[in-house]
Structure 1
Amino acid sequence: MDNKNVAPSNKLNSGSRSLGQLIMQLRRLERQPLHFGAAGPLTPSEIHTIEAIGSEGGVLMSELAARLGITKGAVTQLITRLEAKELVKRSPHPNDSRGVLISLTEQGMEAYAAHEEVHLRFYDQLRSQLTDQEIEIFEKCIEKLNHFLRN
């Protein structure tokens, strides 16, 4: 029998619709600034830049661009916005006169911690509704979906 002529199952259609709905929800969320501590409203791009900088210290602009998967020009624009909000600061690299290190200010660290708390609450909600095995499957599916979308 030729599989090309077989109609997709309802389950596949349901999964496809659910994925489409998830993508639409994520797009909607991407446009909505949220509050993280006293930092004021931050777009998802801004808070994820703060997350990528991290709390451990300075990061080079080129390394930050690589972590975020965006251009150096886009990182420069994000850093300029975050500097204006007093969430990050630039400082010269101690060993490379051309290098600029980006680090979080105290207020930026607050936003970072508040964002981490959002993630913890999300996982607490997942744990209340899913078994450990379902969470493991969920995480594996997200990992595979991310890998698929990168390629």
Structure 2
Amino acid sequence: MNKNKNQLPNNTNSGSRNLGRLIMQLRRLERKPHHFGTAGPLTPSEIHTVEAIGTEGDVLMSELAMRLGITKGAVTQLITRLEAKELVKRSPHPNDSRGILISLTEKGKDAYIAHEEVHFQFYNQLRLQLSEQEIEVFEKCIDKLNNFLQK
């Protein structure tokens, strides 16, 4: 039994510290631009915008803002930067004069595929470190953490 009522058990403290370190590592990674394909250096927000647009086709600016969980103004700024890098293009919506569709250029699709490859390689490296049972637990934990953070 803990002598101090406010002190957490050691296993909780360790998990909390490890989660804190993971968050700090992710924040550090989020600040660094990376190269994806022929796109040149892209910030994490830029490549995640490319990822949210995807290769399926056109997406409305408002839908993109919703996918990213940011304002339409923030999406407009990101799209302007990505247009300057020739990764996306805007086009008018065929049925709604107020709607603007965003799609990836060939260079944008190349960046998207390169980003997917980075994720694939990272996950493969992780799989080499873990047993099948650990991978299953890891995936469940990540899913639960994502659900928790979305609340």
TM-score range, shorter chain: over 0.9
Aligned equivalents of 1:25, 1:148: Cα separation in 2: 19
The aligned residue for residue 147 of structure 1 is: 147
1:66-111 alpha-carbon deviations (Å, 9 max, x no partner) = 1111111111110000000000000011111111100000100000
Aligned equivalents of 1:78, 1:139: Cα separation in 2: 31
The runs of at least 4 aligned residues of structure 1 exceeding 6 Å deviation read: none
Per the normalisation by structure 2, the TM-score is 0.94
The aligned residue for residue 66 of structure 1 is: 66
1:20-54 alpha-carbon deviations (Å, 9 max, x no partner) = 11111111111100000110000000000000000
1:11-90 equivalent positions in 2, closer than 5 A: 11-90=11-90
SS in 2 for 1:124: helix
Alpha-carbon distance, 1:136 to partner: 1.9
Aligned equivalents of 1:73, 1:140: Cα separation in 2: 35
| Unmatched runs of 5 consecutive residues or more in structure 2 | none
- Residue identity opposite 1:109 in structure 2: K
Give me the identity figure in percent: 78
- Residue identity opposite 1:52 in structure 2: A
Per the normalisation by structure 1, the TM-score is 0.94
- Residue identity opposite 1:69 in structure 2: G
Q: Which has the higher helix share?
A: 1
Equivalent pairs, count:
151
RMSD: 1.8
Alpha-carbon distance, 1:5 to partner: 2.2
